[in-house]
Amino acid sequence: MNKAQQRRSDYLYEQHLTHLTLQGKRPATIDAYSRALRRITHQLDKSPDTLTTDDLKRYFTQLIKTHSWSTVKIDRNGLQFFFKHVLQRDWEWLNIVKPPHVKTLPDILTPTCRSGICYNFLYRKLSKVICC
């Protein structure tokens, strides 16, 4: 970035912080959302108001490889906030970055659920024994 772009980027960053404060965001949220803006600006070496969809794809593709899904979601939300409140533009790319859906067992199983799990376990184990 040249000096003019850097000044523009710094101005937008300050506007982002102002909007986060005016929206009543907690300090941890302000820190996380502003970190997302700093990270993408530094990584792509562009002013955030000039980002294209391809830039965002490239950024999130790299971010998914190096960071957890919680970081990816926070960056997505922070950039979405920036686009909506600072740039006053629609976020065009919300549905592309989605975390994988992980299905886990509940901490406390109901009796029906327990019997179903036991039945499936025994049935599959016995069917393997019978089939082999």
Instruction: State mean pLDDT over 13-37.
Output: 95
Instruction: State mean pLDDT over 72-90.
Output: 91
Look at domain 3-86 and name its CATH class: mainly alpha
Q: Which H or E run includes 31?
A: helix 27-44
76: buried, middle or exposed (CB in 10 Å: 19+, 13-18, 0-12)?
Answer: buried
Q: What SS3 class is residue 125?
A: helix
The per-residue pLDDT for 10 is 93
Higher pLDDT, 126 or 75: 75
d(CA 81, CA 73): 12
- What is the reported pTM? 0.70
**Confidence at 122, pLDDT banded by 50, 70, 90:** low
**Confidence at 111, pLDDT banded by 50, 70, 90:** confident
**Confidence at 114, pLDDT banded by 50, 70, 90:** low
Instruction: State mean pLDDT over 35-59.
Output: 91
The separation between the first and the last C-alpha atoms of the chain, rounded to the nearest angstrom, is 67
Find where tokens 């960053």 sit: 13
**CA neighbor of 101 nearest in space, from 129, 69, 59:** 69
Q: Which amino acid is at 32?
A: A
The per-residue pLDDT for 120 is 67
Q: Where are the domains of the chain?
A: 3-86
